Structure 1
Amino acid sequence: MGHSAPSPSALTDEPTGITLSRFLRQLPPEITLLHDAGDRRLRWVEASDMDDPTDYLLDEEMILTSGFPLLGHENDPEEVRAFIARLAQAKVSALGFGLEPYFTEVPATVLDACRENNLPLLEIPATVPFAAIGIAFAQLLEADSAARLRTSAEAHRALMRCLTHADPEAQLIATLSQRLKASVRLLDAQGQVRHEASLAQNATPNHDLSSELFTQASNSQKFAMRSEDSLVDLAFPLRATIAAGPHAPVLGVLSVGFARTPSASDHNLITTALGLLDVLARQRVTSSSTAEQLATTVLLRQRTPLDPHTLNLLRNSLGSTTADSVRVAVISPLNNIADQNPDLHLPHLQTLLATELVALNADHFVALTNTEPTHELFEHLKSSGYLAGFSLPEPADRQLGEKLPDLLAQATGLLPQMREKRQSLDATAIPRSFASLLPPEAGKQLAEELLAPLLALPESRRDLYLDVLRGWLEANGSWDQTSKNIDLHRNSVRRHIATIGEILNKDLNHAAVRQDLYLALSFLANP
């Protein structure tokens, strides 16, 4: 039993479209339907004369029997009822009762039991061998399989044709929805809907469910699924082709909602769509990366107001025609950029920062964006393999063109700290000072080099000179104020400062020297 039938997993993934009524139309007219209990899906036809075949049955089979299991018990209603009940509980779709060699008609007890258990009953005359019924079902299966292959091939060709459409992404989503008979959404890297197509019979996921699926898919290498009642929602991450962090960057999510259990053919079609969406992303960067990098570089180097047309193009390139403010961001991959093709980063960064204006600049990238630098964005960037530094925001008006070089300088000044701390930074959260531009570790190293002659002294002498020098610099060179601040006689202060100048071989009368020493002491005090 069951050796020649499809495996249970195969049946679950790809159910047949054959029903009992459809199959009966293919059978010889001599076969009689003695009890019609409604149409049933039919997965397989199996002959069995076992007393209890239920351990070997697949759901929704038609069982053909010669009646041998009931021979000698056909007039015992309880025995017959128990046999039929076992078949019904095993989800048999129909029972075919063959006449001869054991019976000349279907026993009344069998008919009554089938009626009681709502199991369709067929009477099969001796002129129709069981093998003929099995062959008829196999032929119907083969015809269905060929039809499914034709339908699948046409569906895949329809998706491929979307690449030549004026708006290929939108057409691809609409075609996929039509072919799957499902609701389809394409979300960007921030979870916002880029394209959407739905059918009346398929409820589109609500915002909360859509956000939940987006989060789950972003953290998954394969897909996320939510099933409730007859609704099945799937979400597939669209990932970058490079893996700079723990996961390849998520460029978006394809969300599909079914009002039924999806089949293997549905999954194959979705796989094709995911591949085509990746092709479209590659086409965008291949066709426009040079122009976008050139535009970004020119904008960041000019110091002239933007004319209305250029300002409108800038806003469109930022993904919004009503952008209130613009920032310059510098982006540093966590991995060595020299180990990868830099052009592969461009579509990922464009998606992550919601802008087309991204360009390579030496060992990092620069971008113009209206994306707000939030903790969530920083975490998303880091999980995708990047660190970013954001300048202060400036209004997206004509005067922006004059300010972009300054914004670039602000953002670029954050690079050393970003790389040392291995974290993204926002200029609005950092005090505006020259000292803030130097990473703590590098500042401390420079301070130790500058103050090395003092640091090499015995501990007591070293600490005294450092305290005197710090107090004197903080008092702007006032002997009296220094004496008061550090509780040391002013003559001692003068003598110690003169000695410190000699030890360091520096002229402490020069403002630049005092400035360097003050910064050095601040880094030394904050390891």
Structure 2
Amino acid sequence: MGELDADHLDRTISWVHNSDLPDPTPWLEAGQLLLTDGGQFAGQTPTSPEAYCLRLRQRGVAGLGFATDVIHPEVPTELIDACRRLEIPLIEVPGTTPFIGIIRHVADAEAADRSARLSWTLESQRALARAAVRQDGLRAILRTLSSRLGTWVALFDAAGRPLSLPGIAEVPASVEPAVVERARMLLRKSTPASIRVAEPHAATLQTIGQSGRLGGVLAVGADTPLDSAHSDLVESVIALASISLEQQRAVSDARLRVRTGVIELLLAGRAEEASRSATALWGRMPTPPLLAGQVVGFTGSQSLLDELELSATAEPGILFFAEREEDLLILVAREGLAGVAELLQKHDAAAGFAELHRWEDLSRALAEAAHAAGQSSEPGVIEFSAIADRGVIGMLRNNGGPLVARRMLAPLDQLAPAHRERLLAAATAWFAANTAWDPAARTLDIHRHTLRARIDELGELLGLDLSTFDGRAQLWAAMELSSAGD
């Protein structure tokens, strides 16, 4: 039969049918094995083997079994040639082998397969039921699905972000971008739907939840479309996942409200009550010294909150977080900061952190953290101490100070360049001498009355009273921040 025989002989046979009709195709279905004694190829008007095989090929017959030593002593050569050309598997059936025996064998095999699939389905459903009542029900359900199907499983939240599923085979790197893209595409449609991702490492994706309220997407690795038993299992998982996600969302919302209450107690100076409330739910409240963090204008990524919850549960004395108004607040021990930074980067969020040595300073620490967060241009963590080390001028330089300084000094631009430089040089020497007149005048090699006149002129041009500390401080800061004062 040639090189394609092995592939063709691996076809699944749906049933076995026997007929000697010249055209049995009206009674056949695709995937069936046809048995014949070859009566149609004998007699006065024999059927053309070529035309006969062409009809079988068009019908999608899985193969042809030809009985020898009944009507024909051997398989007709013309039939062998026709089957070879049309790539139809041809099986010689000795006359001593009854067709009914072949049919019974296939029927028994099909019955055994149905029984095995039924047993597999029942056991899989029982395994899902056992997983559903565990404390980590959703993840246990997905681990069971992955184990029963022998493949990877991924779950995406309503924002299209993959949820952390420890203990479950991860999405292969080669297909991950396509799976993430298709998951987000399904969520954007906001209606229940499913889709397959093609090779390599194909997958089936199915939305979770009702139209307009999709809770996420379940992705299951599958090189071929899922059969009925596997599809039924996936549907069961989706139903359980939908319930679990809704329950988790309600529980998560309640826990978040408690977290917010704990932070409010801390800010109100009631640290003991806050600690008791947190300990009752999470085991232990982190205590100072800590780093107090703030994500300003938190957009509400459920995936980030889920992963923070996992981290906080795993390390109750290290991490605590809460939403407050429009911000996400994070309290973390120094040793846990790297893990928090990794999570924030993963979710494109930036947080400022400030040192917190006692609960009474929480409000101040959060204000410092909020300021630090405003200085960050990239996801991750920025500490207020790094900003404070640059000093007030450094802070002003990074927050529009040079623009304000140049605006303050703009009246000097109307002067002749030489005169402008004389006035600025006078101010520079004056400040260098701590605003003492005689040392500054000697530095400039001018009379102190001349220096006074230049400083008075400068103050008048800029609208500053340079006899006061406030006026002098503003001029000094403007000269430090402007390019003219560099």
Same fold (TM over 0.5): yes
- Alignment partner, residue 295 of structure 2: 331
In the alignment, which of 367, 387, 394 is matched to residue 430 of structure 1?
387
Q: Is the 8 A contact 1:84 1:110 kept in 2?
A: no
Q: Matched residues, percent identical?
A: 19
What per-residue deviation string (whole Å, max 9, x for no partner) do you get for residues 334-363 of structure 1?
A: 8xx6xxxxxx55664453684484434444
Local SS of the residue matching 1:515: helix
Amino acid at match of 2:328: F
- Alignment partner, residue 380 of structure 1: 346
Shift of the 170–191 alpha-carbon distance from structure 1 to 2, 3 Å rule, reads: closer
Shift of the 525–152 alpha-carbon distance from structure 1 to 2, 3 Å rule, reads: farther
- Alignment partner, residue 109 of structure 1: 75
Local SS of the residue matching 1:414: helix
Residue 177 of structure 1 deviates from its aligned partner by: 3.9
- Alignment partner, residue 457 of structure 1: 414
| Residue 294 of structure 1 pairs with residue 247 of structure 2 | no
Shift of the 411–468 alpha-carbon distance from structure 1 to 2, 3 Å rule, reads: farther
Shift of the 289–305 alpha-carbon distance from structure 1 to 2, 3 Å rule, reads: closer
Q: Distance in 2 between matches of 1:317 and 1:214?
A: 37
| Residue 498 of structure 1 pairs with residue 462 of structure 2 | no
- Alignment partner, residue 41 of structure 1: 12
Q: Is the 8 A contact 1:162 1:172 kept in 2?
A: yes
Shift of the 405–332 alpha-carbon distance from structure 1 to 2, 3 Å rule, reads: closer
Residue 426 of structure 1 deviates from its aligned partner by: 0.4
Q: Is the 8 A contact 1:440 1:523 kept in 2?
A: no
Q: Is the 8 A contact 2:138 2:241 kept in 1?
A: no
Shift of the 295–108 alpha-carbon distance from structure 1 to 2, 3 Å rule, reads: same
Local SS of the residue matching 1:388: strand
Q: Distance in 2 between matches of 1:71 and 1:473?
A: 121
Shift of the 464–154 alpha-carbon distance from structure 1 to 2, 3 Å rule, reads: farther
Q: Distance in 2 between matches of 1:501 and 1:167?
A: 71
Local SS of the residue matching 1:430: helix
Shift of the 191–503 alpha-carbon distance from structure 1 to 2, 3 Å rule, reads: same
Number of aligned residue pairs: 424
Q: Is the 8 A contact 1:296 1:368 kept in 2?
A: no
Local SS of the residue matching 2:331: strand
Q: Is the 8 A contact 1:49 1:66 kept in 2?
A: no
Q: Distance in 2 between matches of 1:459 and 1:224?
A: 75
Amino acid at match of 2:183: Q
Q: Distance in 2 between matches of 1:106 and 1:190?
A: 67
Q: Distance in 1 between matches of 2:248 and 2:139?
A: 13
Q: Distance in 1 between matches of 2:63 and 2:22?
A: 16
Amino acid at match of 2:137: P
Residue 292 of structure 1 deviates from its aligned partner by: 0.9
Shift of the 185–426 alpha-carbon distance from structure 1 to 2, 3 Å rule, reads: same
Q: Distance in 1 between matches of 2:152 and 2:291?
A: 36
In proportion to residue count, which structure has more helix? 2
Shift of the 330–465 alpha-carbon distance from structure 1 to 2, 3 Å rule, reads: farther
- Alignment partner, residue 331 of structure 2: 368
Shift of the 413–237 alpha-carbon distance from structure 1 to 2, 3 Å rule, reads: farther
Q: Is the 8 A contact 2:459 2:466 kept in 1?
A: yes
TM alignment of 1:80-91, pairs within 5 A = none
Greater RCO (CA < 8 Å, at least 6 residues apart): 1
Q: Distance in 2 between matches of 1:481 and 1:294?
A: 61
CA RMSD of aligned residues (A): 6.5
Q: Distance in 1 between matches of 2:472 and 2:281?
A: 45
Q: Is the 8 A contact 1:330 1:388 kept in 2?
A: yes
| Residue 62 of structure 1 pairs with residue 33 of structure 2 | yes
Q: Distance in 2 between matches of 1:224 and 1:479?
A: 83
Moved more, 284-293 or 504-513: 504-513
Shift of the 477–159 alpha-carbon distance from structure 1 to 2, 3 Å rule, reads: farther
Q: Is the 8 A contact 1:329 1:367 kept in 2?
A: yes
TM alignment of 1:10-159, pairs within 5 A = 41-43=12-14, 60-63=31-34, 67=38, 93-97=62-66, 105=71, 108-109=74-75, 119-120=90-91
Q: Is the 8 A contact 1:293 1:359 kept in 2?
A: yes
Shift of the 454–40 alpha-carbon distance from structure 1 to 2, 3 Å rule, reads: closer
TM superposition score normalised by structure 2 = 0.58
In the alignment, which of 507, 510, 517 is matched to residue 465 of structure 2?
507
Residue 331 of structure 1 deviates from its aligned partner by: 1.4
Q: Distance in 2 between matches of 1:498 and 1:168?
A: 78
Residue 293 of structure 1 deviates from its aligned partner by: 0.8
In the alignment, which of 245, 269, 272 is matched to residue 278 of structure 1?
245
Residue 295 of structure 1 deviates from its aligned partner by: 1.2
Shift of the 183–391 alpha-carbon distance from structure 1 to 2, 3 Å rule, reads: same
Q: Is the 8 A contact 2:405 2:481 kept in 1?
A: yes
Residue 283 of structure 1 deviates from its aligned partner by: 2.6
Residue 67 of structure 1 deviates from its aligned partner by: 4.9
Residue 162 of structure 1 deviates from its aligned partner by: 5.6
Q: Distance in 2 between matches of 1:214 and 1:488?
A: 74
Residue 291 of structure 1 deviates from its aligned partner by: 0.4
What are the ranges of 5 or more consecutive residues in structure 2 without an aligned counterpart?
1-7, 185-194, 313-318
Shift of the 240–122 alpha-carbon distance from structure 1 to 2, 3 Å rule, reads: closer
Q: Distance in 1 between matches of 2:433 and 2:161?
A: 51
What per-residue deviation string (whole Å, max 9, x for no partner) do you get for residues 251-308 of structure 1?
A: 9x97866798754716545644654553354133222121011113333554969999
Moved more, 352-361 or 502-511: 352-361
| Residue 390 of structure 1 pairs with residue 353 of structure 2 | yes
Local SS of the residue matching 1:108: coil
Local SS of the residue matching 2:482: helix
